[in-house]
A and B are shown apart, each in its own frame.
Chain A
Amino acid sequence: MFIFWFYLLLLQNVLHILHFSYFSLLFSLVQCLNILNYQHSLSELIPTIKFRHCCLLRNQRCITAYLYDRLLRIRALRWEYGSVLPTTIRFHMCAEELEWFNQYKKSLATYMRSLGGDEGLDITQDMKPPKSLYIEVRCLKDHGEFEIDDGTVILLKKNSQHFLPRWKCEQLIRQGVLEHVMS
């Protein structure tokens, strides 16, 4: 709901902010007003100029806050969804945001590799403390075939239940494909 309003502001005002320095703005405004026969001195026009400046600052603040909030959500996507985003979400991101996401992924991967000795530590796993190695899961929708470490292939059909290793399923549970069943 709020997002739509902010996005509209973005479309209407982005050029204003990015391409005018304060002095050219001042000068052009004074020129405009004098052409329209106001003939005021600069000191008399200052309240109007201040007014306009406040409006521009407001637009800038709204736009920046909106873009920053988007970035925070994209960052959360890496932690909640994994490194590969579905195409529907990617469709809604602009090129710079995709670029940012890739850079963030790389930084996170570098950091994870630097922990825990030679092999690194995947800190996006085990977000809740694990209680057992294998867990019971139920499939919420068709996901096709799924291979686990010892080579067995499992067909994930809707409503089928399986007993699978925790670390393989965590990603799919977070994405909403599987459901963790507790007895």
Chain B
Amino acid sequence: MSYMPVSPGVGMEENFLSLDDILLSQERLPCKTDTEFPGLGFLEKNADSRHIPEGTKMEMPLWLAKGLYERKRRVISVELPKVYREGWRTVFGADANVVDLHKMGPYYYGLGSQMLHFDSPENLEIAQTVLQTFIGRFRRTMDSSQNAYNEDTSMLVERLDCLERALFRQGQSGLNGFQLWEKGRAAQLTASSLVTNYRKRKITDLQA
């Protein structure tokens, strides 16, 4: 309750210290090198040279792509992952609720916002699609989080991406708090969650 972790950044900004943003920036993107990288041949499994030649296609994590990318386009060019391309965009336009966003990369919204850094000509469409998808799916997420009391929510949460899951969790905690208050249990003093979690972990250490 008194542990308030750093929340993920909003939109195109990342929070430096947010653990969620660090995990987000670990996602891989397909890229193409536009210049030679001398001495780094060991990263690419080709038995070729000791350098990474120009035009190599490789997968880079987001943090590396963001760090190396320059507007004057001398270093690397980043391609869009499948989910943000034309084909999938029409799917999202048709019906956003059907898609399993957890499978399509668990960070659909986060990665979509970060892709806007790479000056693709389709930036406007990507941004609009991400926004419309969120608007389309939000109602269902909110409804399910506010009405699933004391039951197994794994089926509801399965197809949600991380941002939606965070929203779902918040909704659930609000619902639980309200129900406790309704039952008159709001004034009941409880053990702190840190203590109970620590104790649970200790018991498993002993058993291991």
Contact = CB atoms under 8 A, between A and B. Distances in A.
A51 B42 CA distance: 13
B16 interface: yes
Interface stretch (B60-68, B127-135, B159-167, B168-176): B60-68
B194 A73 contact: yes
A53 B75 CA distance: 14
Interface in A89-135: 89, 127-131, 135
Contacts of A38: 38-39, 50
Contacts of A130: 187
Contacts of B184: 182
A19 interface: no
B28 to A, nearest CB: 14
Contacts of A47: 35-38, 68, 75
A45 interface: yes
A76 B3 CA distance: 5
Interface in A18-61: 33, 36, 38, 40, 44-45, 47-48, 50-51, 53-55, 57-58, 61
A65 B191 contact: no
A55 B63 CA distance: 9
A72 B192 contact: no
A48 B37 contact: yes
A88 B188 CA distance: 28
A65 B19 contact: yes
Given A65-B19, A176-B191, A50 B63 contact: no
Contacts of B75: 47, 50
A58 B63 contact: yes
Interface residues of chain A: helix, strand, loop or mixed (majority): helix
Interface residues of B, number: 40
A48 B67 contact: no
B39 A61 contact: no
The bracket for how many chain A residues form the interface is: 35 or more
A81 B195 contact: yes
A57 B67 contact: yes
A88 B191 contact: no
B181 to A, nearest CB: 11
Given A47-B37, A48-B38, A176 B195 contact: yes
B17 A65 contact: yes
A80 B188 contact: no
A154 B8 CA distance: 48
Nearest to A65: B17
A72 B5 contact: yes
B194 A51 contact: no
B14 to A, nearest CB: 10
Given A50-B75, A76-B2, A174-B195, A33 B38 contact: yes
14 contacts: A2-B19, A64-B17, A65-B18, A65-B22, A69-B6, A73-B3, A81-B194, A89-B198, A128-B189, A135-B189, A173-B191, A174-B189, A174-B190, A174-B191
Given A75-B2, A80-B194, 10 more contacts: A2-B19, A40-B38, A50-B68, A69-B17, A72-B6, A73-B3, A73-B194, A80-B2, A131-B187, A174-B195
Interface of B: 1-6, 16-19, 22-23, 35-40, 50, 63-64, 67-68, 75, 184-196, 198-199, 202
